[in-house]
Each structure stands twice: as C-alpha cells, then as structure tokens.
C-alpha cells in the first residue's frame, strides 16, 4: 500500500521517527547516537524520516542524510512546527537550515493547542502561512498533527486542503479523539500513526492484544511488531516507528509478503478495544 499526497508524491511506509527517546530541545550538540541510528535506518532501507522542531534532532537529520550518501530526492522528510508557531516562516527557515536542506516533503502543524492569546497566532493564520510557503515550492505538502475533528473543521474552507493528520494510533488507542480516523479517511486526509508499537513496550505490554498478535505472528512466521504494523497499514494508516536497534529497524521495515485476513484485522480491533492506553496529551483529551 502506498500513500499519495495531493502533490502526487508518495510517502514511503513506514516512517522512521526522531522523537520519543531522543528529545534534546535546546541542546545544540550533535548527538552521535541519533545520527548513527538514522544512518543505520537509511542504510537498511528507510526512506521516510519524521522530524520536528520540538525534538531538537533536526541537525542530526541533516548530518545523517549527508553521511548516508543517499540522494536527497530519494528521502521523504517531514518537519513539524511548534512551539515556534508565532512566526511560521522563521521557524520553517530554521528547520531547513538545521536539516541542511532546501525543501521539505511535508510540514505539519505539530499540535492544535495554541491561539492568538497563548502564542500570538490562530490556527487559520498559521495554516495560511504554511500554504504560502507551499506555493514557493519549498514545501511539497502540508498537514497537521494531533488535530481533532473540530480543529480540522476550522480549515475545511481553506484553499489548501489538509493532506495529513499525524495522530497517536495503535490497538489500544484507535481514535485519539472521537471519530477522528473515520473523519480523516472520509475527507481524504491521510492518517499517520505514531506510537503504533506501544502494545509491545513495557508501558502497555501484557494487554488483550498480546495473545492475538502472538498467534498471528506464529501463523505468518513474523514477529509481533510486524503483525501490528501490518494491522495499522491494513486499517489504511501510515505507521511511524523509532528504534536504534538495527535488528528491530529491519523487522519493522520488512512488511511485504503477507496479508492479514479481514477477520484477523477485526480480531486485533476488538482485542485492542478492551484496553485504553494513551501516551500523549492525556491532560487535553479526557477519555
Ligand atoms: N506528532 C506527535 O505528537 C508525535 C509524533 N511522534 C513521532 O512518531 C515517532 C514514532 O513514535 P514512537 O513512540 O517511537 O513509536 P513506536 O511505536 O515505534 O515505539 C513505541 C514503543 O515501542 C518500542 N518498539 C519499537 N519497535 C519495537 C518492536 N519491534 N518490538 C517491541 N517494541 C518496539 C519502542 O522502543 C517504544 O518504546 C517518533 O519518533 C516521532 O517521530 C511521536 C510521538 C508524538
Ligand atoms: O511529538 C511528540 C510529542 C510532543 C512533545 N512535545 C510536543 C509539543 C508539541 C507537539 C507535540 C509534542
């Protein structure tokens, strides 16, 4: 399955993240661990890097792309803006500079939690400025992250449509906010999943999807992570994962050659629905 953006560009699946373990906002020193993990990810075949201003790892992305020797046009690079949302043009230029790039494939408003009062800019104005940046050709596609339906509705009459909404999605959180996945899919907005593999991490392990995923892993001769990532993709959603472990980088990327049946997809849906687990924004979204 491929995901095609409004520009006609296709997004490689899965994406490789640069947040989670690696936040280091405010520290300008290049973190070799992050560079090495990214170079390794690019060498094993990832062609989609998920960055963000707030992770503080944009410079590491730039160094890793250069060190990998892979031509820029063969790598899909996402950036996200926040908290420097008050001046999107300046934030975008800083991101390009840190990443040593002259364009981004995708630029997202990282979260909807700002307004004129808190950050001196509204969602509508920020979106308008991103649209102008897109028209310069320095950004190929634009989108959002962590947006609920009400946030997306604010942009529904904008000239530039929202291409993508990157949200928390996994068997234990199938709707970050009520109805969001259905709404996006019905309105042609690609859904991108962060934390897809959290059911396997210590924080959420031992839940009701474990036996289903283990059974399917044995049936297909795959590992549990591959089963969950396949489930995400078969739900029509693009997963983004992170790992510094080369073996995991390889298995998380090796998703071809098998397909879950629709009954198996539903089995994971149903088992996952028996438990609720949220890693981010719990204080904003009351379940
Ligand atoms: N837009 C947003 O607000 C957010 C975006 N992100 C982006 O998404 C990326 C992915 O998010 P993650 O939380 O790292 O997702 P993930 O699903 O890759 O990782 C979740 C947990 O699963 C573990 N894991 C990964 N592969 C595994 C495997 N094969 N077996 C067992 N455990 C495994 C990881 O160590 C981590 O503890 C981030 O690096 C970042 O780029 C992450 C959080 C919020
Ligand atoms: O991207 C992951 C989570 C995160 C951490 N800090 C912020 C600020 C704004 C949006 C998302 C996040």
Cis peptide before 253 (omega within 30 of 0): no
pLDDT of residue 286: 64
Q: What is the DSSP letter of 227?
A: H
Question: How many A from CA of 108 to the centre of ligand 2?
Answer: 12
110 lines ligand 2 (CB under 6 A): yes
When pLDDT is averaged across residues 30-56 and rounded to a whole number, the result is 95
When pLDDT is averaged across residues 258-286 and rounded to a whole number, the result is 94
Question: Half-sphere exposure of residue 202, counting CA atoms within 13 Å on the CB side?
Answer: 0
113 lines ligand 2 (CB under 6 A): no
When pLDDT is averaged across residues 1-28 and rounded to a whole number, the result is 84
pLDDT level of residue 281 (50, 70, 90 thresholds): confident
pLDDT level of residue 228 (50, 70, 90 thresholds): very high
- Nearest ligand, measured from the Cα of 20: 1
Tokens standing for 274?
């028996």
pLDDT level of residue 119 (50, 70, 90 thresholds): very high
The CATH classification of domain 10-162, taken from the options 3.40.50.150, 3.20.20.100, 3.30.565.10, 3.90.550.10: 3.20.20.100
With a pLDDT cut of 70, the percent of the chain lying above it is 97
240 lines ligand 2 (CB under 6 A): no
DSSP string, 144-191: EES--HHHHHTTTTSSSPP-EEEEE-BTTBS-SSTTHHHHHHHTTPEE
CA distance linking residue 225 with residue 233, whole number of Å: 12
Q: Which contacts (CB < 8 Å, 24+ apart) does range 225-228 have?
A: 225/197, 225/200, 225/251, 225/252, 226/251, 226/252, 226/254, 226/255, 227/260, 227/268, 228/170, 228/171, 228/196, 228/197, 228/199, 228/200, 228/268
With a pLDDT cut of 90, the percent of the chain lying above it is 92
Question: How many A from CA of 55 to the centre of ligand 2?
Answer: 8
Query: Which residue do the tokens 């997202």 mark?
Result: 108
Atom of ligand 1 nearest to the CA of 80: 1
- Mean pLDDT of the chain, nearest integer: 95
pLDDT of residue 284: 83
Task: Judge residue 225's burial from the number of C-beta atoms within 10 Å of its C-beta, 0-12 exposed, 13-18 middle, 19 or more buried.
Answer: buried
pLDDT level of residue 27 (50, 70, 90 thresholds): confident
pLDDT in tens, 124-158: 999 999 999 999 999 999 999 999 999 999 999 99
52 touches 92 (CB < 8 A): no
Domain ranges of the chain: 10-162
Nearest residue to 282 via CA among 152, 146, 83, 145: 146
Check whether 287 has a pLDDT greater than 60: no
The answer, yes or no, to whether ipTM is higher than 0.90 is: yes
Strands 3-4 and 10-11, bridge-based pairing: antiparallel
pLDDT in tens, 189-201: 999 999 999 999 9
Check whether 208 has a pLDDT greater than 70: yes
Protein residues whose CB sits closer than 6 Å to any atom of ligand 1: 17-20, 50, 110, 145-146, 166, 194-198, 200-201, 225, 240-243, 248, 251-252, 280
Provide the whole-model pTM: 0.97
Positions marked active-site? 55
Query: Which residue do the tokens 């997004």 mark?
Result: 11
pLDDT of residue 26: 66
CA distance linking residue 134 with residue 73, whole number of Å: 17
pLDDT level of residue 243 (50, 70, 90 thresholds): very high
> What are the residues whose beta carbons fall under 8 Å from the beta carbon of 279, sequence distance 6 or more?
168, 195, 198, 203
CA distance linking residue 44 with residue 244, whole number of Å: 12
276 annotated among ligand-binding-site residues: no
């Amino acid at each position: 399955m491929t995901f095609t953006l409004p520009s006609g560009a296709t997004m490689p699946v899965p994406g490789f993240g640069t947040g989670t373990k690696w936040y280091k906002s405010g520290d300008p020193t290049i973190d070799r661990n992050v560079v090495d993990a990214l170079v390794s990810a690019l060498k094993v075949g990832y062609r989609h890097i998920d960055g963000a201003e707030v992770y503080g790892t944009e410079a590491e992305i730039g160094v890793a792309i250069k060190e990998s020797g892979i031509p820029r046009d063969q790598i899909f690079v996402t950036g996200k803006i926040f908290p420097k949302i008050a001046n999107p043009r300046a934030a975008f230029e800083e991101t390009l500079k840190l990443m040593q790039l002259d364009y981004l494939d995708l630029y997202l408003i990282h979260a909807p939690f700002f307004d004129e009062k808190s950050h001196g800019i509204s969602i509508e104005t920020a979106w308008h400025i991103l649209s102008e940046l897109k028209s310069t050709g320095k950004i190929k596609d634009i989108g959002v992250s962590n947006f609920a339906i009400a946030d997306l509705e604010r942009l529904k009459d904008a000239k530039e449509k929202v291409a993508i909404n990157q949200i928390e999605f996994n068997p234990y959180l199938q709707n970050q906010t009520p109805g969001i996945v259905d709404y996006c899919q019905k309105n042609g907005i690609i859904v991108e999943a962060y934390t897809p593999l959290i059911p396997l991490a210590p924080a959420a392990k031992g839940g009701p999807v474990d036996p289903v995923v283990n059974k399917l892993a044995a049936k297909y001769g795959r590992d549990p992570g591959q089963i969950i990532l396949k489930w995400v993709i078969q739900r029509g959603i693009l997963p983004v994962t992170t790992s510094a472990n080369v073996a995991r980088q390889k298995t998380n990327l090796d998703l071809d050659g098998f397909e879950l049946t629709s009954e198996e997809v539903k089995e994971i849906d149903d088992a996952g629905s028996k438990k609720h687990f949220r890693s981010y924004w719990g204080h904003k979204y009351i379940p």
